[in-house]
Amino acid sequence: STDSPPSVPGTPTASNVTSTSLTLNWTAATDDHGIKNYDVYRGASVIGTVTGTTYSDSGLTAATAYTYSVKARDTASQVGPSSGVLTVTTASSTGGGGGGSGTTVKMGYFADWGVYGRQYFPKNIETSGSASKINTINYSFGNVTNGQCAAGDAYADYQMTYTAANSVDGTADTYSQPVAGAINQLRELKKLHPGLKVVWSFGGWTWSGGFAQAAANPGAFATSCYNLVEDPRWADVFDGIDIDWEYPNSCGLSCDTSGPAAFTNVMSALRGRFGSDLVTAAITADGSAGGKLDAADYGTAAQYIDWYNVMSYDYFGAWASQGPTAPHSPLYSYSGIPTQGFYSDAAVQKLKSKGVPGSKINLGIGFYGRGWTGVTQDAPGGTATGPAAGTYEQGIEDYKVLKTKCPATGTVAGTAYAHCGSDWWSYDTPSTIAGKMAYVKSQGLRGAFFWEFSGDTSNGELVTALSNGLA
């Protein structure tokens, strides 16, 4: 008998085309031994191998052209010629509500531990006037452990019963209700603001060490995250997932060596599992040559996400206890900056150079300052003796405290600084936030976000500046 390879399969056709997914179909190839399976190509890469004549592709970018082709393999493992090539363009906006390139993102982090010492509850987002001025809340943080997503603090998240005074709707929780805690309070907040999106954020500085194990089996990780975020007890509260991995293939609290593709693999798996829900990531803002933004393939991973939250703060601080004093969130470089590439615009331009569109980039704003003590020089670049005192930890303080305790005395590189007594602080003010929002608009970015609500004044003046600046 002759051993001839399979015939040419039919050119694929596309159906069910959305902004992030589509279904391919093609007519079967023939072969003297019988067809074993088909390799499906997107561009030059095999994205799947199937036994039938259909394949569903997901994690795509809206309004983007993709090319597909297929090759057949017979039971003798001979691969036949390629089908014709299909070019298909995805739809222009996602069904995920917050997706697409249209909605300007105005997002703030709510930290679940804020309900303890800070006594900051979801109700405060409402009473400050902030809830009507933002459209997205990142709820932080869920843990990443044993290769899975897990609740970060079960008590704060869904067990703590709220008094009437601390509740969004003015009604006390009962001990028998299935979901209490901050998650139920966010549910009440969403009832008052039906367009509000809430995204569960996993990882963060403390819990990013768990991502290495997660990246070893991205599919299992994504399934665990989906099962938690979309748990029937609170599926109505959450609109998607955010990954805050500090940092892929680089060092944060611990060092990761999972390789430059690990982050892409994780985000791809999450998009495949979460479908049209929001899938976002908080990422490093290190714009230096060969720095953290160069350690992982953020350009390729961008196709799987709705947006990146670029953490353009904490560039400098009193972990360098002797100084030099420097603003922790500079928008631009300036003469005497301690590290080249440690400023927001460097990160934005580096991401754009990697092919990340501005419509997938959010600029990060800190609602806090970082400071030193033992400083005699007003201008940046002074020496210090150590971190300045702070309410919760040294070297850091909320804007709402610094506003009156150490008012701004100057600006540098698009942000503010303050010298009071022997303390030197840097932080953003309503004025510098207005300037940063003008930058967001001029660069065609998606929007802005901040860490975190409790640092603002009780009447939400920083949120107001952010919202007005993006209007």
Instruction: Determine the Cα–Cα distance for residues 14 and 11; give it in Å rounded to an integer.
Output: 10
Does residue 95 belong to any structural domain of this protein?
no
Does residue 8 belong to any structural domain of this protein?
no
Q: Are 25 and 133 part of one and the same domain? A: no
pLDDT at residue 92, as a whole number: 61
Instruction: Determine the Cα–Cα distance for residues 1 and 33; give it in Å rounded to an integer.
Output: 10
For residue 28, the enclosing domain spans: 13-89
Does residue 307 belong to any structural domain of this protein?
yes
Does residue 339 belong to any structural domain of this protein?
yes
Q: What is the mean pLDDT of the chain?
A: 94
Q: Structure pTM? A: 0.80
Q: Are 112 and 51 part of one and the same domain? A: no
| Residues with pLDDT less than 50, the chain | 94-100
Q: Are 65 and 168 part of one and the same domain? A: no
pLDDT at residue 33, as a whole number: 87
Q: Are 110 and 83 part of one and the same domain? A: no
Q: Work out how many domains the chain is built from and give that number.
A: 2
Does residue 150 belong to any structural domain of this protein?
yes
Percent of the chain with pLDDT over 90: 89
pLDDT at residue 95, as a whole number: 36
CATH at 54: 2.60.40.10
Does residue 173 belong to any structural domain of this protein?
yes
Q: Are 157 and 256 part of one and the same domain? A: yes
Among 188, 246, 397, 461, the active-site one is 246
Instruction: Determine the Cα–Cα distance for residues 341 and 339; give it in Å rounded to an integer.
Output: 6
Instruction: Determine the Cα–Cα distance for residues 257 and 160; give it in Å rounded to an integer.
Output: 38
Check if 397 is active-site: no
Q: Are 82 and 116 part of one and the same domain? A: no
Q: Are 81 and 138 part of one and the same domain? A: no
Q: Are 193 and 279 part of one and the same domain? A: yes
Does residue 176 belong to any structural domain of this protein?
yes
DSSP state of 378: S
Q: Are 115 and 169 part of one and the same domain? A: yes
Does residue 122 belong to any structural domain of this protein?
yes
| CA-wise closest residue to 268 among 215, 334, 328, 313 | 215
pLDDT at residue 97, as a whole number: 33
Cβ 1 vs Cβ 76: under 8 Å: no
CATH at 118: 3.20.20.80
pLDDT single digits (tens) 171-185: 999 999 999 999 999
pLDDT single digits (tens) 94-115: 433 333 456 899 999 999 999 9
pLDDT at residue 153, as a whole number: 97
Q: Are 304 and 444 part of one and the same domain? A: yes
Last residue of a domain, one of 30, 56, 89: 89
